[in-house]
Amino acid sequence: MKKTDSLKNWEGIACVIGIDWGDSGKGRLIDNLAARANIVARFNGGSNTGHTVKNNYGKFALHIIPSGIFNQKAICLIGRGVALDLESLVDDEMVQLKSAGVSWKNLRIDQQATIVMPWHKIRDGIREELRGGAKIGTTKRGVGPTYADRIERQGLRAKDLYEADFKDRLKEELDFQNKIFSLKLSFKEILETFTRYSKVIKPYVTQTIPLIKEAKSARKNILFEGAQAYFLDIDFGTYPFVTSSNTGVLGIWRSFELYPTEINHVIGITKAYMTRVGSGPMPSKIEGEAREIIIEKGGEIGTTSGRIRDPGWLDLVLLKAAVEANKVNHMAMTKIDVLTGFKTIKVVTGYKIGSKEAGYISGDASYLAKCQPVYQTLPGWQQDISSVRNFKDLPKNAQNYIKTVENFVSIKVDFIGVGPARGEEIYV
Ligand code: GDP
Ligand code: IMO
Ligand code: MG
C-alpha cells in the first residue's frame, strides 16, 4: 500500500467521509484534493447531499455531480449506490455548471443507479407528515423511498430508460404507486419529463465498476466522495434518525466493489465543532449565545433544505468511534476560523448515564439520547486566522485545540480549513 506524508501530495486511492453529522466541508475538500485525481467518484446518497464548492469558477451547491467536476481532466463517476435524482442533475446542477462555463463531458453515470422518481419525493413528504412525534426531519428528496424500492427490487435504473419496455414498466409502476399511495400522478407528464432527462444523460450512462478497476490497475489516483456522514449511516448511525445509505467506507464497496482495505487514504472530515440538521440526539448541543454566534458566523443554514443546523461542541467520543470503525488515517478539520473569538471552547471527552461512565453504542439513537457529555474546557483565541497558511502561524491556543483532538483520536489532522474558498486552508 502506497502512502504519502502530506495529503496535498496524495496518491493512490483516497476517500473523504464525514465523521460527524454532515455538512463538514466535504465539497470544498474534494475540490481541493481533486487537483490530483484521475477519477472522482460519488458512492452514496442522493440530492439530500449539499456540497458547497467555492473556487475560481464561482460558488456551487452540488447534490449529485461529484465536487471534483472542476478538475476538467478528471473522470467524475456517479456510482450505482447513488439515488439518482435527474431533476437535480439536469435542471439544477447542469444549469449551474453551464452558466459558469464548466464542462461535464467527463461525467459517467452507472447504468445500474436507481432513479429517484416523482412518487419517491412525494412519499418522503407524506411519511414525514404522518410520523407524528418522532419525525426524522428528512430533506424530502425522496432518498429513503428510492432505496426502499431498490431493496424491494422495484427500482427503475438508469439503463431501464433505454429499454424497449420502459414505457410499460413506467406505467405499471406508476399505477401501483398511484393506487397504494392515493396519488394522481400523470403518466404522460412523467414520461415526457423522463424522456427529456434520458436524452440529456444518455452519453454518460455506462458501467462504472470497470473504470475503477482499470484505473486501479493503471495506478491512477482515485478519489471517493462521501455524502452525509458516519452518524447518519443506515447501519451504524443514530437509527432511526439517519439517512438510508452507508456513509462510511462500506458505501464504497456497495457502489464500486472496491474493498475498504484497498483504500490508501481514508480521510475523515469534521468541522471544528459539529452541527446536526433534522431530528435525533446530539449530546454536545450548544444552547444560548454561543449557539447564535456559531450559526451566524458559520452560516449554519442547510445547503439543500435551508433549515438551521443545530451546533454542538466537538464530540471526541464520536469522532474516535468513526475513526476506528472506518480505519480513518487522516483527519481534516474545517471552519476552525468560526471558533475565533470564544474565550473558552469545549470538547466532549466522555459520556455518563446517571453517575455511571458510558461509551458509544453504534446504531442506537435512544441510547445516545441518555448520554450526558463530559466536557474538557480549552482556552480560545482572539486573533483572525483566516489568512494563516502554516500550522505554526496559528495562535498557540488554536494549535493546542487541534493537538487535543489529535491526541484523543490518535490520528493527525492533515488539513485545516480557515475559510470556505479554495486556498483558504492549511495542509499540515
Ligand atoms: P458538505 O456537505 O460536507 O460538503 O458541507 P456543506 O457545503 O453542506 O457545508 C459546509 C459550509 O461551510 C459551506 O457553506 C462551505 O462553503 C463552508 N466551509 C467549508 N469549509 C470552511 C472553512 O474552513 N471555514 C469556513 N468559514 N467555512 C467553510
Ligand atoms: P451532506 O452530504 C446533513 C439528514 C437529514 C435528516 C436525515 C435523513 O451535505 O453532508 P434524508 O433526506 O437523507 O432521508 O434525511 O439525514 N441529512 C443530512 N444532514 N448533511 C447531509 O448531507 C444530509 N443528508 C441527509 O437532515 O436528518
Ligand atoms: Mg452539505
Residue 1 reports pLDDT greater than 80: no
Q: Where in the chain is the domain with CATH 3.40.440.10?
A: 10-110+207-267
The predicted-structure confidence for 286-335, as pLDDT tens digits, reads as follows 999 999 999 999 999 987 788 999 999 999 999 999 999 999 999 999 99
Pocket test for ligand 2, best of 63, 228, 246, 279 (most atoms within 8 A of CB): 228
Among residues 20, 23, 124, 315, the one annotated as catalytic is 23
Q: Where in the chain is the domain with CATH 1.10.300.10?
A: 118-202
| Residue written as grid cell 426531519 | 137
Q: What is the pLDDT of residue 5?
A: 65
Fold assignment, 118-202: Adenylosuccinate Synthetase, subunit A; domain 2 (1.10.300)
Active site residue 63: no
The predicted-structure confidence for 41-84, as pLDDT tens digits, reads as follows 999 999 999 999 999 999 999 999 999 999 999 999 999 999 99
Q: What is the pLDDT of residue 228?
A: 98
Residue 132 reports pLDDT greater than 50: yes
Question: How many angstroms separate the Cα of 345 from the Cα of each of 236, 287, 295, 400, 414?
Answer: 28, 14, 15, 11, 21
Fold assignment, 10-110+207-267: Adenylosuccinate Synthetase; Chain A, domain 1 (3.40.440)
Provide mean pLDDT across the span 201-212.
98
- What is the share, in percent, of the chain residues with pLDDT greater than 70? 99
Provide mean pLDDT across the span 100-123.
98
Q: What is the pLDDT of residue 3?
A: 45
Residue 105 reports pLDDT greater than 90: yes
Residue 4 reports pLDDT greater than 50: no
**Contact between 352 and 224 (Cβ < 8 Å):** no
Q: What is the DSSP letter of 371?
A: P
**Contact between 385 and 341 (Cβ < 8 Å):** no
Average pLDDT, the chain: 96
* CATH code for the domain defined by 271-427: 3.90.170.10
What is the rounded CA–CA span in Å between residue 365 and residue 351?
14
The predicted-structure confidence for 137-191, as pLDDT tens digits, reads as follows 999 999 999 999 999 999 999 999 999 999 999 999 999 999 999 999 999 999 9
| Sequence letter at residue 293 | I
Name the closest-CA residue to atom 2, ligand 1.
23
3-class secondary structure, 342: coil
299 lines ligand 1 (CB under 6 A): yes
